[in-house]
Amino acid sequence: MVADCIFCSIVAGEIPADVVATTETAVAFRDLHPQAPLHVLVIPRTHVANAAELADREPETVAELVRVARQVTGDAGHDSYRMVLNTGEEAGQSVFHAHLHVLAGRVQAWPPG
């Protein structure tokens, strides 16, 4: 756990979150500012800055994030969904604890903004 990391605090249960799924290595909770009817963040319990670092340190957890995304969207009745891994400030990353955005429940434009 890293001090001052909001997602580490959520994993530790110190900050409330609307948790929709948990596994040994991952936690999924609703985004505070949803951009789709279903907008969930799936994060590793381990603090790493981004998905690439997670791939280096815990490659199996990257697969776990994707499995949890499938589970959460399936449970909500969606078979179509978007997964996003913002990496770096210019790409829109604002929380530097790796997280997979999972969005579903509306038609999504391409290319993304």
Q: Is the peptide bond before 16 cis (omega within 30 degrees of 0)?
A: no
DSSP 3-state of 103: strand
Contact positions with ligand 5GP (CB under 6 A) in 40-79:
41
> 45 near 26, Cβ under 8 Å?
yes
Q: What is the H or E stretch that residue 72 is in? A: helix 59-75
Could you say which of Zn ion, ligand 5GP, none residue 78 binds, taking C-beta under 5 to 8 angstroms by partner kind? none
Q: How far apart are CA 54 and CA 22, in angstroms?
A: 18
Per rule CB under 6 A, is residue 5 in the interface with ligand 5GP? no
Taking the complex as a whole, how short is the minimal distance between the CB of residue 45 and Zn ion, in angstroms? 9
> 11 near 27, Cβ under 8 Å?
yes
Q: Which of 30, 39, 47, 82 forms a contact with Zn ion (CB under 5 A)?
A: 47
**Catalytic residue status for 47:** no
Nearest to 72 by CA among 14, 16, 113, 31: 31
Per rule CB under 5 A, is residue 7 in the interface with Zn ion? yes
Closer to ligand 5GP by Cβ: residue 1 or 32: 32
Which residues are near ligand 5GP by CB under 6 A? Answer: 6, 17, 29-33, 41, 86, 92-95
Interface ranges with Zn ion (CB under 5 A): 2, 5, 7-8, 47, 97
Kindly list the catalytic residues.
99
